[in-house]
Amino acid sequence: MSDQVSVVGLGGSMRAGSTSLTALRTALEGAAAAGAATQVLSVRELDLPLYTPEHAIPDAAHRLVEAVAGAQAMIWSSPTYQGSISGAVKNALDWLVLLADRQPAYLTNKPIGLVATAGGVQGLQAINAMEFSVRALRGWAVPLVLPVAQSWQVFDPDGALVDAAVGEQLRALGAEVVRAAYQLRQEGTCDYADSRQFAAS
């Protein structure tokens, strides 16, 4: 593959040992192995103020939107809080309204991989919440998603990944995001025909 694509990872949590941030970094390892340039935008490090249209635009929001605008694909990762995504991740997504006047606007033609971690078994609810935002922002949600259930078994108390099988699934998701980005670039569409090979991961 020529003309390297860029994949930006967005997410994590405000917790120092964030499992969702570890999951995001692991998925980006898969994207890098598939040939992409990668960048992590941690919501903890971004430290964005709550979005409001009356805000003077902070430097962190400029950094976020410029990174996203320059990427050909993204991976989002959120912890599951009360059956949905975290407020910090949602706030970062709210700031993407600053992409409204870009050409193309928002996340048009960017494939987005979705990851969630959950202490219980309800991680798919956070995935579904993020998918609504992908559609609203005109992106393409990659059908292969990864809700990581019972994260206390998958990560250690410091947030490090200890489950090798989940690690491989996350890296496969990262690789699929890169594949989708190249197909969109080359063909102007994405049928995800190759994603079936990861379905049993």
Q: Is the pLDDT of residue 199 over 50?
A: no
The pLDDT of residue 53: 87
Q: Which of 78, 135, 145, 91 is nearest to 110 (CA)?
A: 135
N- to C-terminal Cα separation, the chain:
24
For residues 73-94, one letter each, b for 16 or more C-beta atoms within 10 angstroms of the residue's C-beta and e for the rest, the string is bbbbbbbbbeebbbbbbbebbb
Question: How far apart (Å, rounded) are the C-alpha atoms in residues 41 and 25?
Answer: 10
Residue 193 confidence class, pLDDT cut points 50, 70, 90: low
CATH of domain 6-198: 3.40.50.360
What does the pLDDT look like over 94-136, one tens digit per residue? 999 999 999 999 999 999 999 999 887 777 999 999 999 999 9
Q: Is the pLDDT of residue 194 over 60?
A: no
The pLDDT of residue 197: 39
What does the pLDDT look like over 85-94, one tens digit per residue? 999 999 999 9
The pLDDT of residue 191: 72
- Of 49-58, 69-78, 90-99, the least confident: 49-58
Question: How far apart (Å, rounded) are the C-alpha atoms in residues 146 and 80?
Answer: 12
Q: Which DSSP string corresponds to 136-163?
A: HTT-EE-S--EEE-SHHHHB-TTS-B--
Q: Which of 172, 188, 101 is nearest to 140 (CA)?
A: 188
Residue 199 in contact with residue 144, Cβ under 8 Å?
Answer: yes
Residue 116 in contact with residue 50, Cβ under 8 Å?
Answer: no
- Every domain of the chain and the residues it spans: 6-198
Write down the pTM of the prediction: 0.91
